[in-house]
Structure 1
Amino acid sequence: MKKIIGIVGAGNVGLSLAEALARKELDVLILSDHYLGPMPFVRRQEARAFLERCTAAIICVKDRDIREIAALLASADAEISRKPFLHTAGGLDSSALSSLRDRGASVGVMHPIQSFPMPDPKLIEGIYMGVSGDKEAVNLAEEIARALGCQIIKVKNHALYHAACVMSAGFIATLLRLAGKVLSEASDGSWRALLPLAKGTLRNVEAMGPEKATTGPQVRGDNETVRAHAEALRVFDPGLAMLYNLLSAEMTEKKEKKTLDPLLLEVLACPKCKGELEYRKDEDALICHGCRLRFRIEDGIPVMLIEEAEKF
């Protein structure tokens, strides 16, 4: 039987994947109500024909729509027993396709660790992919990864895995935006002036790894400069001062037990009443007397979640 890989959805990820597979001379069929391009496609009302023609399918839609699409495919009057289905959402495990699994399909996840601002098959070639799920589905993911020159990592916890992906993408962009905000306050420059510095850092990370590529006054032990930064940020934006101190503590990587930075204490407030907090060093805790809540401190970092606080 001729192998045809079905692509459900014609967004940036779906089209990038479909075009990348087509470039490798693999047959693809797109299921979408909106696609009008040159590759073979069918509409949603033809879901049964889509499933009958495809030997496997990859669901490339928004996270919130995956279960609905899986249910739509599962309700089509087509034989899908042992047929592999994958979805491409990093934050969801294979249970998002449980309606297909209930009908005997093999289901799993194949998440490209990449951002897709536009459809581009080059974006999906030679990257890493996070994979999990049933055996046949994982085998399909590994086969596709080999065809596209990608490497596989096996995912055990999708929430943590996806958090790591967000930290390495959206957080970097957000940090650059915030740094640009600070720079604009201090000068007539914008975030673009910081871009060569950021690019150079990423090149160093690629060449040496993140630990050796970490530089700055925190690493050099220039505490006076670090405190001057923190104080200036506290005046400008207390939230940024808190972020700066938390990241500074992580950069120093002190082996001894970390204590709460006094500058961080100055900008902290009770998340419930916004009132002042008492720092009890001997208890490793912050106390809100108004709310009668105790917030623990772990390795120098306060856990400021109301649901995690201890009542007294």
Structure 2
Amino acid sequence: MENSSFHKVFILTGLQQSGRNKALYFYLTCTLYILTIAMNVTIIVTVRVDKALHEPMYIFLSNLCVNGLYGTVGFYPKFLIDLLSDVAVISYPQCVTQTFVIYTSAACEMTTLTAMAFDRYVAICRPLQYHSILTSQMVLKLLSLAWFYPLSVTLTVVLLSVRVPICGSFISKLFCDIPSILTQGCYQTTTNRIFGIFIMTGQVIQVLLICVSYAQIVRVCLRSREGRRRFTQTCLPHIIALFVYILSLLFDISYSWAYITNLPIALRNVLGMQFVILPPICNPLVYGLQLPQIRTAILKTYLKLKVSKNKCNNRRCC
């Protein structure tokens, strides 16, 4: 990569027509960010504190929330700063870093959902072998793979992208991503396209594995009323989370890869934002509402903290 690219500055044009609505967008985005942090942290702390939730299913859920927090760091802070600025500007190194964080989070979302589908498959289709298969070592391996694969793949994509000299200066989005960086390049490379196809193939394979797992789960659960109840309680949230992820991914593809210029810019911005907003806020909502164990544990944890706080206050008074 040429040294001049390091000093390149991009202008994010997605907010140029926001005008006087920037203040409203700032407060709404700030509220959404706070809610996202609060809900994900609540799930993480609850799983950490409640020993009854120290099971593979809830450990994977906690990892999903950790990943959600990681992904929001790549979008919300910079976007909030842009809403307070007259012109949204981002340096080339910041753009590359933001791309790396957002894409790593998106890929980790899929690998974690795949691990969760495997966990549910073993729990429902092979219950007698569950504890011998999903050992602590296996859970640790799955968690490591859930992060290693996204980090390595995303790093490779970013390194391939930054090899191309930058000629453009305007990104017609609210944040940086791979298509944005590539469109600013002086030329297109076949290597990037081939690797892009490889990544999409990997995502499709993971989706197919999840679908096959849940097809087997549905087949087993439909045999009894208890099976259907168990499916509704433990598997339905996973399917909803997968649907939210795929939906947000389709939004991003329609915005970035199949860019439609005749759509209003406000609608294009909404489509582009779903990729980084929907999963982090929907996952804790879905699991918190659907899983009775999580709801009970959150209430228990809240009551414990409240009792501890009252005891501390009483001691101070004495």
TM-score (norm 1): 0.25
Structure number with higher strand proportion:
1
Larger Rg: 1
Q: Give the structure-2-normalised TM-score.
A: 0.24
Higher RCO (C-alpha 8 Å, min separation 6): 2
Which is richer in helix?
A: 2
